[in-house]
Amino acid sequence: MILLILASLFSGCFGQSWPNIILFLVDDLGHGDLGYTGHPTTSSPNVDWMARNGQILTQFYSGSAVCTPSRAALLTGRYPPRSGMYPQVLYPFNIGGLPQTEVTIPELLKERGYSTALAGKWHLGVGEGGKHLPLNHGFDKYFGIPYSQDMCPFLDCYEGEACDNPSPWAQSTHCPLYQDDQIIEQPIHFPSITPKMADWSKQFVIDRVEEQIPFFLMYSFHHVHFPQFSSSMFRNTSLRGSFGDSVSEMDWAVGELLATLQELGTLDDTLIIFTSDNGPRLRQQGANQAGDAGLFKCGKATTWEGGQRVPGILHWPAKIAPRVNPALSSFLDILPTLISFLDGNTSSLNDILLDGYDLTGNIIYKDPSPRQEFLYISQNREKSDSGIDALRLKNFKAHFRTQGNEHSVSENDPDCGPGPASDHNPPLLYNLEADPAERFELSADPKYKEVLAEMINVKERLEEQMEWAESQMEGTDSNVEPCCNPECHPKPSCCTCH
């Protein structure tokens, strides 16, 4: 009842009731993996429909090139080092997680009368007694798996068929399915998980609309992360093999939510954001088990464009005009922009040190974007080695340090695969407006001398402003691995419940 009263009292910056909000976050989806971005054999009709009828962000960047730090940046509007979400990703046995002191999107929306829910992957920690799970960071409801499916044994990926690859985590605890803060299934039957997530999400939406409570739903897919999996509806239906099957199933789930909103008469009044947590895993492209960065260089876990330039779509017919928006934008900007949509300004955020910008003027009124720079910080950076690997400043990008990664092994580019880091003095310089594929290096050209000097100065200034919190990746304990029968023996085989 209190939520109903709050929802009726508040109104947004446009003088009408606040929108419902759905954030679709796909895992490891590359910029070139969708129909609307040009892939010739991908089937993504529902996402493509949103792109045709929404605003396409063509220069949209994830918060990091790997899962955990990227998701932290999205929810907090802050570069990952500020929250300690570095240098890599959290594993089931890590003690740490997103600190309770971080202010998140769902926490801010709850203060404004929203009902909040997360379906799918979390990957910001579990911790002792589940203290880092979503319900402790502003979500009212949670239905999902707290980390990537490759962090537990691959027991089944397809109905009646073995997975494409053997599991490297065969001796680990099985993947758990949480409902709120309780495990309701362990191990997970992956071929059925996407339909379950879609049904749960649809019911959450239906219930909130019937109760007339504004809602925020974050649907965080396990697709299209390796290993690939899909239900029998989509197995062997794509020309792209198992990867294409998983893209198709992801797109189907998006369509299920769109259809539900349409049936409820609330599609036009719902702000939908669609994006990916980082660039694609490029390994095993020949086996149709890898993503595609499109024209961008390299992929996941690198600071080349393919690692962090991701799809971005905004769909809100009531307020956002369909168009292609080339403005520089990022995950970091989602939090302040949402609050500006609701409050009319971001003054309530003045006590939070944010790295995001309010893009309301750009998105709604086509004003120039206030974002002029973007920082790329490698997943391998430690606090003792803190620094910026690359800097985007307006049209130019300077690489001060580069390093490939095993996830981005590519037949076409030796820079993408694993190897030692390379420092560059002078930095590698590219004009992304003219050369988004980073093919033509400009630092030796005298006419870019002033550009290089400016980028070096900006880098040094921004590094002085960047606060590196203690890493939350330190410390492990097998006892924090989720188990539905925590006192059972022997583990992990006894962690089984349905």
* High-pLDDT (> 70) share of the chain, %: 97
User: Would you state the structure tokens that stand for residue 446, as one six-digit string?
Assistant: 């005298």
The band of 491, judged by pLDDT with boundaries at 50, 70 and 90, is: confident
99-111: average pLDDT? 98
Run of H or E residues at 477: none
- Cα dihedral 472, 477, 479, 482, rounded to 10, equals 40
Query: 172 near 150, Cβ under 8 Å?
Result: no
148-177: average pLDDT? 91
Delineate the domains of the chain, giving CATH numbers in brackets. Answer: 2-374 (3.40.720.10)
Q: Give me the pLDDT at residue 7, please.
A: 42
Pick from 247, 219, 68, 244: nearest CA to 143 = 219
Q: Is the pLDDT of residue 116 over 80?
A: yes
Q: Give me the pLDDT at residue 16, please.
A: 47
What pairing do the DSSP bridges indicate for beta strands 396-402 and 390-393?
antiparallel
Residue 249: strand, helix, or coil: helix
Query: 91 near 404, Cβ under 8 Å?
Result: no
Write out the catalytic residue numbers: 67, 123
What pairing do the DSSP bridges indicate for beta strands 215-220 and 270-276?
unpaired
What are the residues whose beta carbons fall under 8 Å from the beta carbon of 265, sequence distance 6 or more? Answer: none
Lowest mean pLDDT among 8-12, 212-216, 426-430, 457-461: 8-12
14-43: average pLDDT? 90
User: Would you state the structure tokens that stand for residue 258, as one six-digit string?
Assistant: 């769109």
Q: Is the pLDDT of residue 304 over 90?
A: yes
Model pLDDT for residues 327-345, shown as the tens digit of each residue: 999 999 999 999 999 999 9
The band of 171, judged by pLDDT with boundaries at 50, 70 and 90, is: confident
**Long-range CB contact pairs, 414-423, < 8 A, 24+:** 415/297, 415/298, 415/304, 416/282, 416/297, 416/298, 416/299, 416/302, 416/304, 416/306, 421/378, 421/380
What are the residues whose beta carbons fall under 8 Å from the beta carbon of 36, sequence distance 6 or more? Answer: 44, 47, 48, 51, 52, 56
Q: Give me the pLDDT at residue 376, please.
A: 98
Query: 407 near 281, Cβ under 8 Å?
Result: yes
In angstroms, the CA 204 to CA 216 distance is 10
CA atoms within 13 A on the CB side of 112: 25
In angstroms, the CA 244 to CA 132 distance is 33
223-250: average pLDDT? 96
Residue 156 burial class via C-beta count within 10 angstroms: exposed 0-12, middle 13-18, buried 19 and up: middle
* Higher pLDDT among residues 450 and 283, named by residue: 450
Q: Give me the pLDDT at residue 429, please.
A: 98
What are the distances in angstroms from CA 156 to CA 189, 270, 450?
A: 7, 36, 56
Residue 466 burial class via C-beta count within 10 angstroms: exposed 0-12, middle 13-18, buried 19 and up: middle
Cis peptide before 336 (omega within 30 of 0): no
Pick from 223, 229, 226: nearest CA to 409 = 226
CA atoms within 13 A on the CB side of 260: 20
**DSSP labels for 20-82?**
EEEEEEESS--TTSSTTTT-SS---HHHHHHHHTSEEEEEEE-S-SSHHHHHHHHHHSS-HHH
Q: What is the mean pLDDT of the chain?
A: 94
Q: What is the 3-state secondary structure (H, E, C) of 171-224?
A: CCCCCCEEECCEEEEECCCHHHHHHHHHHHHHHHHHHHHHHCCCEEEEEECCCC
Q: Give me the pLDDT at residue 5, please.
A: 41
In angstroms, the CA 142 to CA 398 distance is 40
Residue 111: strand, helix, or coil: helix
Sheet arrangement for strand 396-402 = 373-376, 390-393, 396-402, 422-431
Q: Give me the pLDDT at residue 289, please.
A: 87
User: Would you state the structure tokens that stand for residue 119, as one six-digit string?
Assistant: 């379906």
The band of 404, judged by pLDDT with boundaries at 50, 70 and 90, is: very high
